[in-house]
Amino acid sequence: MSKLITVAQAAKELKKADNILILTHAYPDGDTLGSGYALCRALHKMGKSARVECSDIIPDKYRFMFEDMGPAEDFEPEYLCAVDVADSLLLGDKLKTYAESVDLCIDHHGSNTRYAKKLVLIPEYSAAAMIIAEIINALGVKIDSGIAACIYTGIATDTGCFKYSNTTSYAMRMAADMLDYGINSEMINRTMFDIKSRARIELERMALESMRFFLNDRCAIMLITHEMIEKSGAGEEDLEGLAPIPRQIEGVHVGVTMRERQDGTYKVSIRTDNRADASSICSILGGGGHVRAAGCTVGGPAERAVKTIVEAVRSVID
Amino acid sequence: MSKLITVAQAAKELKKADNILILTHAYPDGDTLGSGYALCRALHKMGKSARVECSDIIPDKYRFMFEDMGPAEDFEPEYLCAVDVADSLLLGDKLKTYAESVDLCIDHHGSNTRYAKKLVLIPEYSAAAMIIAEIINALGVKIDSGIAACIYTGIATDTGCFKYSNTTSYAMRMAADMLDYGINSEMINRTMFDIKSRARIELERMALESMRFFLNDRCAIMLITHEMIEKSGAGEEDLEGLAPIPRQIEGVHVGVTMRERQDGTYKVSIRTDNRADASSICSILGGGGHVRAAGCTVGGPAERAVKTIVEAVRSVID
């Protein structure tokens, strides 16, 4: 069970520490990496040794966070700090050896499992990077454009570019502060949100083609098969962010994405607007989740799965 | 030639006026409507008569701006105020009768043609709605959630949800202020940026299918034909915002969208990243525009047009 500490106390801890290994979560995103590299850059400015590690390969689009930093420093870690890692299981394969010995965790997930010795947890914040910015200020390090770009990316990615309901006015003001450090936010946003691989574009096209409408067009179901993934050449990273698509269609209250699994079952993601409860639908199907976003597994073949899903949706929205 | 006045002077003008007709531009967008309804709501709070007019039908997605306001007030206009209207021609057919008699124009387009008697022009602002917010403050009217939703929408839509390079830190801070008035920014952003008609989805799918790559995949060309528009059932509003798609593909420096015209020519929109100059390419083809976004017209048939465009792109990027 972690000891909960404040931003000021975390800064005190880090001031004393050296040879700091910063741990990010597997399948890294903009917030864990932005938090990690912002903190690492700040620690370097204090003359400390620090490096960021991740169990998975860091996608190319995050390269701007560290490409000017030179090779990662080589040292025997003395202090372990996890950023945006809600559960030690999320450290992934390569970093799981550190799971029991994390000194400090800095996180904004209310679901944090308190695996670290000490924990700064602010669930009201839209991104872990916002806590990091406060810690950097408490460390007395002057934020520069390199740090600002990392903090901005963490906030922008975790709020869907300030679009989601978790976007607070404080998050926007902090992002505004980062703009004032002279970052190229347009490049960051284009890289994070707009650029898609050709495989992804092709997969989207095929997925749109598969879209079917039910219940007076209030329910849209999109199917993603092995064959589509293979044909398009899509990799795991190309499969992210498909689930919201069906619900973005005018008049659709319940958007369903079905992804074929190796064992012939379907991984089902359901997204709803304010007129339907996704978690109720998924709980009928043996799954669960949140009111607007939930998931479950449904057995094949596809036609039977579609029927099962439509019946569950009907029972909730009618 | 307009007399340039300050925000404080504009507030003084409006304080004296009554029966105020607020004019928005044709093909209305979130900034002209957000500016118009924010100002109208503020004037109503002062006990003045005011209404917003537009030459075109206001798309349903902007309904939240005025649906709680009751029917538009009926009065003989005594004072004409244009918002976000850079040129009196943009008032459109229905409102062109007012072109010569606009008392006050509130705008952020550097290209404003100064058709109004008096003009508040702040080209540094990301949206006209930002000037409106300052005027409302200068009027001494307390901003409420209804006004805040309009101002927020103006800023969000003109900055592509804070994504474009015109997003200043002041714009983000003002949007943050609007969040603090208790608006539902998630609903606004979903409505403005995510919801697409079925016809639009179908048109996008066909357009993606038409995508071809040239010059070692650095140039992507997407074709939109009459047939596609007809088959998909897309209306004029569904054709907006297609031009950025080809350039969003990884590795593409020059993204081209060709839209078939009635006379058999093609309306060509070119979008580039920082490695190519769109205006140079278009000027070869007899058009023009900005460094990252430009346009021109190329004669058909399609195959010859594609060849012509690819040659122009080659000469600029090689």
**pLDDT classification of A165: cutoffs 50, 70, 90:** confident
pLDDT score for A105: 98
Report how far residue A205's alpha carbon sits from residue A227's, in angstroms, rounded to the nearest whole number: 14
Q: Which helix (H) or strand (E) holds A65?
A: none
pLDDT tens digits, one per residue of A37-72: 999 999 999 999 999 999 999 999 999 999 999 999
**pLDDT classification of A289: cutoffs 50, 70, 90:** confident
Is the pLDDT at B289 greater than 90? The verdict is: no
Please state whether beta strands A50-53 and A3-4 pair in parallel, antiparallel, or not at all (unpaired).
unpaired
B313, exposed or middle or buried, with CB in 10 Å at 0-12, 13-18, 19+? buried
A205 contact residues in B (CB cutoff 8 A): 205, 208-209
Query: Which among B111, B100, B31, B44 has a CA at the least distance from the CA of B75?
Result: B44
**pLDDT classification of B64: cutoffs 50, 70, 90:** very high
Across the A:B interface, residue pairs with CB atoms under 8 Å apart total: 112
Instruction: Kindly state the average pLDDT of the residues B252-268.
Output: 95
Please measure the distance between the N-terminal and C-terminal CA atoms of chain A and give it in whole angstroms.
45
Q: Does A162 touch chain B (CB under 8 A)?
A: yes
Q: Is A192 left (phi over 0), alpha (psi -120 to 50) or beta?
A: alpha
Q: Which residues contact B207 (CB under 8 A, 6 or more apart)?
A: B222, B223, B224, B228, B242, B245, B257
Report how far residue A17's alpha carbon sits from residue A11's, in angstroms, rounded to the nearest whole number: 10
**pLDDT classification of B291: cutoffs 50, 70, 90:** confident
pLDDT score for B264: 92
Tokens 């947890």, residue located: A121
Please state whether beta strands A219-224 and A212-214 pair in parallel, antiparallel, or not at all (unpaired).
antiparallel
Report how far residue A125's alpha carbon sits from residue A175's, in angstroms, rounded to the nearest whole number: 13
Distance from the Cα of A90 to chain B's closest Cα (Å) equals 29
Q: What is the pTM of this model?
A: 0.90
pLDDT tens digits, one per residue of B99-117: 999 999 999 999 899 999 9
**pLDDT classification of A277: cutoffs 50, 70, 90:** very high
Q: Which residues contact B81 (CB under 8 A, 6 or more apart)?
A: B14, B20, B21, B22, B23, B39, B102, B103, B104, B105, B106
- Quickly count: other Cβ atoms within 10 Å of residue B47's Cβ: 7
Mean pLDDT of chain B: 96
Query: Which among A138, A237, A132, A145 has a CA at the least distance from the CA of A182?
Result: A145
Q: Taking CA atoms, what residue in A is nearest to B209?
A: A205
**pLDDT classification of A237: cutoffs 50, 70, 90:** confident
A244 contact residues in B (CB cutoff 8 A): 194
Query: Which among A69, A248, A180, A311 has a CA at the least distance from the CA of B169?
Result: A180
Quick check: B179 and A172 CB within 8 A? yes
DSSP3 helix / strand / coil % (chain B, rounded to 5): 45, 20, 40
**pLDDT classification of B272: cutoffs 50, 70, 90:** very high
Angle at A287 between CA A282 and CA A293, to 5 degrees: 55
pLDDT tens digits, one per residue of B240-254: 889 999 999 999 999
pLDDT score for A236: 82
Percent of the residues in chain B that have a pLDDT greater than 70, as a whole number: 100
A163 contact residues in B (CB cutoff 8 A): 161, 185-186, 189-190, 193-194
Alpha-carbon torsion (B223, B228, B232, B238), positive or negative: positive
Angle at B43 between CA B40 and CA B49, to 5 degrees: 85
**pLDDT classification of A240: cutoffs 50, 70, 90:** confident
Alpha-carbon torsion (A176, A178, A183, A186), positive or negative: negative
Chain B from 190 to 229: CB within 8 A of any A CB: 190, 193-198, 201-202, 204-205, 208-209, 211, 213, 217
pLDDT tens digits, one per residue of A203-226: 999 999 999 999 999 999 999 999
Query: Which among B1, B137, B13 has a CA at the least distance from the CA of B79?
Result: B13
pLDDT score for A182: 96
Query: Which among B92, B126, B93 has a CA at the least distance from the CA of B109?
Result: B126
pLDDT tens digits, one per residue of B154-165: 999 999 999 988
- Coil vs helix vs strand at B257: strand
pLDDT tens digits, one per residue of B191-246: 999 999 999 999 999 999 999 999 999 999 999 999 999 999 998 888 888 999 99
**pLDDT classification of A274: cutoffs 50, 70, 90:** confident
Tokens 């340039």, residue located: B4
Is the pLDDT at B318 greater than 90? The verdict is: no
No. of helices (H) and no. of strands (E), chain A: 11, 12
Q: Does B111 touch chain A (CB under 8 A)?
A: no
String of b and e for A93-112 (b: at least 16 CB within 10 Å)?
A: eebeebbeebbbbbbbeeeb
Q: What's the token pair of residue A231?
A: 């044909």
A84, exposed or middle or buried, with CB in 10 Å at 0-12, 13-18, 19+? buried
pLDDT tens digits, one per residue of B4-47: 999 999 999 999 999 999 999 998 999 999 999 999 999 999 99
Query: Which among B261, B251, B254, B272 has a CA at the least distance from the CA of B310?
Result: B254
Query: Which among A195, A189, A170, A125 has a CA at the least distance from the CA of B161?
Result: A189
Please state whether beta strands B293-298 and B266-272 pair in parallel, antiparallel, or not at all (unpaired).
antiparallel
pLDDT score for A177: 98
pLDDT score for A216: 96
A47, exposed or middle or buried, with CB in 10 Å at 0-12, 13-18, 19+? exposed
Query: Which among A298, A249, A253, A259 has a CA at the least distance from the CA of A271?
Result: A253
- DSSP letters for B262-315: TTS-EEEEEEE-TTS-HHHHHHHTT-EE-SSEEEEEE-S-HHHHHHHHHHHHHH
pLDDT tens digits, one per residue of A111-132: 899 999 999 999 999 999 999 9
**pLDDT classification of A318: cutoffs 50, 70, 90:** confident
Q: What's the token pair of residue A302?
A: 């596809």
pLDDT score for A7: 98
Instruction: Kindly state the average pLDDT of the residues B72-80.
Output: 95
A150, exposed or middle or buried, with CB in 10 Å at 0-12, 13-18, 19+? buried
Q: Which helix (H) or strand (E) holds B25?
A: none
A248 contact residues in B (CB cutoff 8 A): 194-196
Q: Does B124 touch chain A (CB under 8 A)?
A: no
Q: Which residues contact B12 (CB under 8 A, 6 or more apart)?
A: none
Work out the angle between the directed axes of helices A128-139 and A30-45 (0-180°, nearest 10). Answer: 10
**pLDDT classification of A291: cutoffs 50, 70, 90:** confident
Domains and CATH numbers, chain A: 3-193 (3.90.1640.10), 198-317 (3.10.310.30)
Instruction: Kindly state the average pLDDT of the residues B269-274.
Output: 92
pLDDT score for B10: 98
Distance from the Cα of B249 to chain A's closest Cα (Å) equals 5
CB B221 within 8 A of CB B254: no
Q: Which amino acid is at A184?
A: N
ipTM of the complex: 0.89
pLDDT score for A265: 96
pLDDT tens digits, one per residue of B124-177: 999 999 999 999 999 999 999 999 999 999 999 999 999 988 999 999 999 999
Report how far residue B154's alpha carbon sits from residue B158's, in angstroms, rounded to the nearest whole number: 6
Report how far residue A123's alpha carbon sits from residue A108's, in angstroms, rounded to the nearest whole number: 4
Report how far residue B217's alpha carbon sits from residue B224's, in angstroms, rounded to the nearest whole number: 20
Q: Strands of A26-162 (E only): list them.
A: 50-53, 79-83, 104-107, 118-121
